[in-house]
Every structure is written in structure tokens, then in C-alpha cells.
Structure 1
Amino acid sequence: MGPDHGEPIRILVVDDHAVVRQGLRTFLEIQPDLLLAGEASSGEEALPLARLTLPDVVLMDLILPGMDGVEATRRLLAQQPGCRVVVLTSFGEEGRVLSALEAGAAGYLLKTVDPDRLVAAVREAAAGGSPLSPEVSRRILAHMQRPTGLQPGAALTSRERQVLDGVTAGLSNKEIAARLGIGEKTVKSHLTHVFAKMGVEGRTQAALEAVRRGLAGGGAPR
């Protein structure tokens, strides 16, 4: 359900292909806890429509006429900071992924995503999560593991580094806890410290900051 009072999650779809919008409309409308609040075919159209429809989650294509999805994401979040943008695109190149996340996108999915996973991702994003396609998570990790010449953040403890590695791998707190053999509450406590030390506000920003600092190699036990 939506963020407040158990209301349906309001969704805005931004894609320049009518057939894609129609397919998403058909599928989303049968979900009892989701409400398709609007559709836009461009970034320029999406901004005023978002003000009007007040979506909880925006499914944003990247390749749009005029303003691209990255810029549209940046402007939309400046306009409505509480909104959650999930990129839904055919393109998973590393540069596109990082640009979208740096613009503030909460998640990044490829259009090959299973429909049930897409619905789960919308719910996850509305609840404050950061859904990523597995391919996208792998690209972020590959970027992290390349030598960057940057100094790692010495302020993080070894355990905090392991928890951070779990976050960048797209694991939930429960999965990180199982991997490290610690309690889920302990993972949450470590994440609170990680966010504070890195000066970030959430999981997506922490993963991006980890990329910038070259924090890799301390990884959680396999």
C-alpha cells in the first residue's frame, strides 16, 4: 500500500513508446494496491503531470525526446523530493546506471524484468527501498572493484565495510545478516553508522559514495 494510511501506491509512467505505456497500464491496473495516476511521453510532460498527480513512484525511461530521463529525474526530485523514481529502461551500461543513480533515482530496472518482479520493485521503492536488476548490481560492483586510485574511507570498520558491500550487492538487511552471521538489528545499527560516516542519507547514496571512494575488496564472507 501507499506511504500513508494504507492508500494505493500512486504510479506515474514516463516512456515515449505508447506500446510500453499500454503494456504497463494493463499489468499495473490489475494490482489491487497499485494505482496508475498518469502517463507521460517525455520529461517535459512528466514534470507538470507529477505536480498534478502526486505519484509515490515514477517509472522513468532514460531515452526520451528532448529532456532525457536523467535530467527529468533530477528536476522531478527537486520539485517533489518525497517521490521515488525507478528507472525502467532497455539500457544497462555502467555510465547510464551511475548517472541515473547520481541524479537521485531510487532504483534501476531493465525492461527484461519479470512482471512480478516489477510489481515487487514498485512496492519496494514506495517503502523506501532501492530495487536493482541483478545485471545492474553486477555492473556497480564491477565498477567498485576496479582500481580507482582513490583512498578508501578509513573511518569505516571492517564489519561496516562488509555490511556496505552487502548493500552494493543489492542484498536486503535480512540477507546481509544471514551472510555475516549477525542479527538483522545489528545490520541496521551498522548501516546507521555507515550512513553517518559517509555523509549519505540512504542505501543508494551509500553505494554511489562507495563507488566514488573506491571502497571494495573488504567484501562480506561468501
Structure 2
Amino acid sequence: MADFICVGIIEDDLLCRQAQENILNLSATFRLVGSWGDAESAILAMPEILPDILLVDIKLPGIDGIECIRRLKKSCPHTLFLVVTTSEEDEHVFEALRAGASGYLIKTDGLDALIAGIKEAWAGGAPLSRNIACKIVRHFNHFSGNVCNNQLTSREREIIVLLAGGQTYKEIAAQLSISVETTKKHIKNIYAKLEVHSRTEAVNKWRLPQK
């Protein structure tokens, strides 16, 4: 196993990209293996490079960062995608996570936060800027008072939030540090409690406001 984390960058702002490159090159923990100013160039190069983690801006010329993640998730399934952007729009946050992003960081948090986020993602975590984490909590708290949610254990509620975000069983297991089999058992219990037979039914019923 390599002693460093291979990192790629997709960032159209030259100064921002150079700052990210410099901070990575100054650390013995990372190896910069690719840096691009647009998604199209990265999509062509990625299958040959296969970085461990790819830093992706949302607002890019041509193909945007979310669509880039969506495409590369299929061709580079073992690469982790970490959004690094200025956008805090709800649509961008949730679409990026659904596309397969492992975390969502805001550029104004600074380069130290970026380095910490890369390490956290590589360790199996889901790094989120504080504002983004609060946004996600507020979003799902909107559903927290319904009867369905109150039937679930705290672990089951964690899992259904991740199911609603489009995470696979394997991704849920990794994020919660449990086995895939344990994840499946929890999901089976969720289906039984909500009296449903699929992910879509479970998420829709969980989200349904109660009268």
C-alpha cells in the first residue's frame, strides 16, 4: 500500500487551483497526480490516472462538477469525490451528494480545512463544512416529527437519511463503520416498521408529513 494519498483537482479558477496544488505538493502525505481547469479534460484523463481522491468544483465551464462526478463515479468507482466550491445552494449540495460526492467543502473555509477534509474522506468519513452540515440537518429535521420517523431507532434514522441521499449499502456501511450485513438487517427492520418493500417506498413514506 502506498504511503501517500493520490489527489486530483478540477478547478477552473487558476489562482485557486494553484493554491490547492501548492498545499498538496508541500505535504508528504499527498501526491498530486492531475490538475485540470475543466471537467471534459479530467474525464478523458481520469481512467488512466485513477486518483484516490478528486477535488471537484461545482461551477465549471462546460460540464459542471455534479455531472462530472456522476460520470466518473461509473468509470472510476474506487475514487472518492470531494466537492470544493463557493456554492452553498441547496440544489447543488443535495445533487452533489446524490451524484456520489463523499463530502462538501466551502472554499472560504481555507486550505487547512481542505487538507483535513481530504484526510477525513480517505479515512472513511464524510467531511462537510459547518454551514453545509447545518443545512443537511435542517433539511432532514423537516421530516423528524412524523410518525414513521418516531418508529425508528436512532441508527435506523441515520440509515434512512443516507438511503434518502442515494447511498448504496456499501457506502452506508463504510460511513457508519458497520458491516454490510448489519446494514442490510437494519434496512430490513426499517422496511418492516414502515410496511414497505423498497428503498423508494421507505424514503417516500418516511418523508410524508403526518396529519
Range into which the TM-score falls when normalised by the shorter chain: 0.7 to 0.9
Pairwise CA distance, 1:116: 1.9
Count of residues in Structure 1 that have an aligned counterpart in Structure 2: 185
Look up the match of 1:116.
Answer: 112
> Counterpart of 1:93 in structure 2: which amino acid?
E
Write out the 4+ residue segments of structure 1 that deviate beyond 3 Å after TM superposition. 147-154, 161-167, 187-199, 209-215
TM-score of the superposed pair, with normalisation by structure 1 = 0.71
> Counterpart of 1:214 in structure 2: which amino acid?
R
> Counterpart of 2:89 in structure 1: which amino acid?
E
SS in 1 for 2:66: helix
* Unaligned ranges ≥5, structure 2: 163-175, 189-201
Of the three residues 146, 153, 156, the one matched with 1:158 is 153
Counterparts in 2 of 1:16 and 1:121: CA distance versus 1, 3 Å: same
Pairwise CA distance, 1:15: 0.8
> Counterpart of 2:80 in structure 1: which amino acid?
R
Higher relative contact order (CA 8 A, sep 6+): 1
Of the three residues 93, 96, 99, the one matched with 2:95 is 99
Pairwise CA distance, 1:129: 1.8
* Deviation by residue 1:16-75 (Cα, 9 ceiling, x = unmatched): 111111111111111111011111111111112212221000000000111110000000
In structure 1, C-alpha distance between the alignment counterparts of 2:56 and 2:114, rounded to whole Å = 13
Kept in 2, the 8 Å contact 1:14–1:59? The answer is yes
RMSD, matched Cα: 3.5
SS in 2 for 1:131: coil
Q: Does 1:13 align with 2:24?
A: no
* % same residue: 29
Look up the match of 1:62.
Answer: 58
Pairwise CA distance, 1:87: 0.3
Counterparts in 2 of 1:189 and 1:63: CA distance versus 1, 3 Å: closer
In structure 1, C-alpha distance between the alignment counterparts of 2:104 and 2:154, rounded to whole Å = 27
* Unaligned ranges ≥5, structure 1: 168-186, 200-208, 216-222
Structure with greater proportional helix content: 2
